[in-house]
Amino acid sequence: MSDSTPLELTPQSPAPVRASRRRTYIVLGILVAAVGALLAQGMLSSLNYYKTVDEVFADRASVGTREVRLEGVVQKGSVQRTSTGANFVITGVESNQVRVNAIGEPPQLFRPDIPVIVVGSFTNATGNTFRASQIMVKHSAEYKAKYPDRVKAPDGSVR
Amino acid sequence: MQRLISRSLGPLALATSVATIVMGLWVTPPDVVQGDLARLLYIHPALAWVALYLSFGTATVASALYLWPRTRSMTADRIAEAAVEVSTLFIALTLITGSIWGRPTWGVWWVWDARLTSTAVLGVFMLGILALRRANDDPAVRAKRSAVLALLTALNVPIVHFSVLWWKTLHQGATVFTDNRDIKIHGSMAWTLLLSFIALSLVFSWMVRTRYRIATESQSQRDRALDDAVAQRRQEGAQ
């Protein structure tokens, strides 16, 4: 097996000497400084994927009618399925409510009391009606077994 | 003893993987919110954990050992190479299984939130290390450069881990490795999750060991070929 692929042994000129090491460090330093400057400039907050309902209520003017992703919990009893999608209310704290008119079938995990992220914009600069073109369900990190015969406490809760 | 370990590693990895599949698909109950979709829990987090910590952790340590003069050796370089390759595979599978899980649960195949983006960036860095390894033939130069890039890549790992804490993301936070040690999973689901971590750790170990042995063998082959070629030239010279 070792005879079948003979090594290339003809003399070759050596590889060119690398440019100065100092230049490498300078370039690296500039790169690190650039990244640091970008991060310090508040780029970090743009890495947030959405604004919450409470954040919007705290600073409504900054949102206006821009296209945003808005996160809130679906209010129990507020869901109305329509021919084109669904209308429902999402909340942060109970008093901060946004009426969402969504186009398109919601994802299968969509239900009351679950956090969702809606993508779209408010219909006017000061109101709380939001037209959404997309709904994403933000399920929690908790896993609880679904046992239909589970014994429930008197108040209806399960452990 | 070493032979016992090496001969049992593969079968053990296979057995635990099969056990995980059986437990995950049939024995564990569905979830209250996600139903049967939650069964992807028994593959996706373990792939991610092995990719980031066990596998790339091995690559990071091996790279550091190579760069430290007192522990420098081609063994460290070969281990780093094997571990980076397996890490790349596992991180690709993490993203794929995550996407498959995301479509029916979140409603989308992909979002550019901090967790998914940082994981993708880490994957691209790993591909970069593999590309860098092919850019130079000299073993010492190649080893040093890929070791440096591996250490730089390792800086991404804490960013991926903390991304769900530092920023608001669609991807949920931790279930087990939570901030306040509050574990959010119980019973057979929790034990199967643990089993999946063990199974995929064994699969990783088997893969890295096999890849390392391939690297050692091809190095031996190159050495033998060199010896043969030199002997041949000597023969020609003597004639």
CATH code for the domain of B70: 1.20.120
Sign of CA dihedral A126, A131, A135, A137: positive
A109 lies in the same domain as A41 = no
Domain membership of residue B198 (yes or no) is yes
Domain membership of residue B61 (yes or no) is yes
Q: Do B33 and A109 touch (CB under 8 A)?
A: yes
Nearest to B225 among A7, A140, A146 (CB): A7
Q: Do B104 and A147 touch (CB under 8 A)?
A: no
pLDDT along chain B (239 residues), means of 10: 86 97 95 94 96 96 96 95 97 97 96 95 96 90 94 93 92 88 90 97 96 94 93 87
Report the distance separating Cα A57 and Cα A68, nearest Å. Answer: 14
Domain of B107, in residue numbers: 12-223
pLDDT in tens, chain A (159 residues): 455 677 777 787 776 666 677 888 888 888 888 877 876 766 667 789 999 999 999 999 989 899 999 999 999 999 999 999 999 999 999 899 999 999 999 999 999 999 999 999 999 999 999 999 999 999 999 999 987 677 778 887 766
Interface test with A, best of B162, B170, B228 (most A CBs within 10 A): B170
User: Which of the listed residues A31, A47, A63 is the one where a domain comes to its end?
Assistant: A47
Interface check B170 vs A, CB under 8 A: yes
* Half-sphere exposure in the Cβ direction for A156 (13 Å, CA): 0
Report the distance separating Cα B222 and Cα A31, nearest Å. Answer: 39
* Cβ-based neighbours of A3, under 8 Å, separated by 6 or more: B228
Q: Do A141 and B173 touch (CB under 8 A)?
A: yes
A70 lies in the same domain as A110 = yes
Q: How many domains, chain A?
A: 2
Q: Do B34 and A48 touch (CB under 8 A)?
A: no
Distances (CA, A) of B6 to B54, B166, B202, B207, B215: 19, 42, 11, 12, 17
Nearest to B226 among A7, A106, A146 (CB): A7
ipTM, two decimals, is 0.85
Domain membership of residue A146 (yes or no) is no
Nearest to A141 among B104, B117, B184 (CB): B184
Task: Record the pTM.
Answer: 0.86
* Cβ-based neighbours of A112, under 8 Å, separated by 6 or more: A74, A75, A76, A77, A78, A79
pLDDT per residue over B126-139, tens digit each?
999 999 999 988 89
A33 lies in the same domain as A61 = no
Q: How many domains, chain B?
A: 1
DSSP string, A14-42: PPPPPPPHHHHHHHHHHHHHHHHHHHHTT
In angstroms, what separates the C-alpha of A90 from chain B's closest C-alpha? 16
Interface check B111 vs A, CB under 8 A: yes
Domain membership of residue B236 (yes or no) is no
Domain of A64, in residue numbers: 49-137
Domain membership of residue B77 (yes or no) is yes
CATH code for the domain of A131: 2.40.50.140
Domain membership of residue A62 (yes or no) is yes
